[in-house]
Amino acid sequence: MPARHVTCRITIVVALPILGNLSCVSPEPAELPTRSRHSYSRYRLPERHPEMRRAPRRRLTAPSPAPVYEAAWAPAGRKISPRWTTIVIHHSATATGGAAEFDRYHRDANGWDELGYHFVIGNGTHTPDGYIEVGSRWHKQKHGAHCKTTGNYYNEHGIGICLVGDFTKSEPTERQLASLQRLTGFLMHRCGIPPSRLTTHAAVTGKTRCPGGNFKLADLKRSLAPAALASSLR
């Protein structure tokens, strides 16, 4: 019947824009509380990003070749230094925390100049789950204070990423792993770092369990290899 067809068309045209708007709603960094003493630029993956919806439980998948979030991770007002040759992954060895707390601890307890890591990935305690905080050290393209070795090579040339949590007791969250995958993919692409130069604090020094036995570096490397290859071919 012609009259029914007309009714259906009107319903579809009106409903689609409304649904589209609702599905795109996600918190912006500006809505999150800021901390007064030290400022960090913060970013987290959108709640409903298609890659996160598709990611199977406890398994990393290859990220899109396009570094969608690179604007948030590029150092503010300067180019990425050519000094970076490796990425060192850590856990905080604490159940909770975030960049501001670790920054305070590194200054007050360790007597360091500022937060030792370049990036911190939250676990939903002090910052949202999977939320990436960019330390001021990264914005300055300054050496790290996270992986002491003779000659200090890994602090001079290693990008320090800390996942909040104690992975000797618990596991990183799915969102932390998804954020780590995207961030390391971005850094490897921008700094020309191959998967073989992705490592952990324990693997470098042999003097710590950091980032714990529940963090699987091999899984991360496997997930990043196709992206690194795609990047090198672009």
**Chain residues in the site for Zn ion (CB under 5 A):** 90, 201, 210
Rounded Cα gap, residues 150 and 207, in angstroms: 13
Contacts with 174 (C-beta within 8 Å, 6 or more apart), sequence order: 55, 57, 58, 130
Residue of 85, 98, 99 lying closest to 194 (CA atoms): 85
Judged by CB, which is closer to Zn ion: 192, or 205? 205
In three-state secondary structure terms, 159 is strand
Q: Which is nearer to Zn ion, 132 or 210 (CB)?
A: 210
In the complex, least distance from residue 211 CB atom to Zn ion, rounded to whole angstroms? 6
- For the bound state, the minimum distance from the C-beta of residue 189 to Zn ion, rounded and expressed in Å, comes to 24
Q: How far apart are CB 206 and Zn ion at their closest, in Å? A: 12
Our CB check for Zn ion shows the closer of 128 and 158 to be: 158
Q: Is 170 left (phi over 0), alpha (psi -120 to 50) or beta?
A: beta
Residue 66: φ, ψ to 5°: -75, 120
200 phi/psi in degrees, rounded to 5: -125, 165
Closer to Zn ion by CB, 41 or 205: give it.
205
Distant-in-sequence, close-in-space partners of 209: CB < 8 Å, separation ≥ 6: 168, 202
Q: What is the rounded CA–CA span in Å between residue 119 and residue 158?
A: 12
Least distance (Å) from Zn ion to the CB of residue 40?
A: 19
Nearer to Zn ion, 203 or 230 (CB): 203
Please, what is the minimum distance in Å from the beta carbon of residue 91 to Zn ion? 7
Nearer to Zn ion by Cβ, of 46 and 112: the residue is: 112
Residue type, 131: Y
Q: Please state the closest distance from residue 223 (CB atom) to Zn ion, in A.
A: 21
Start-to-end Cα distance in the chain:
54
The secondary element (H helix, E strand) that includes residue 22 is helix 2-23
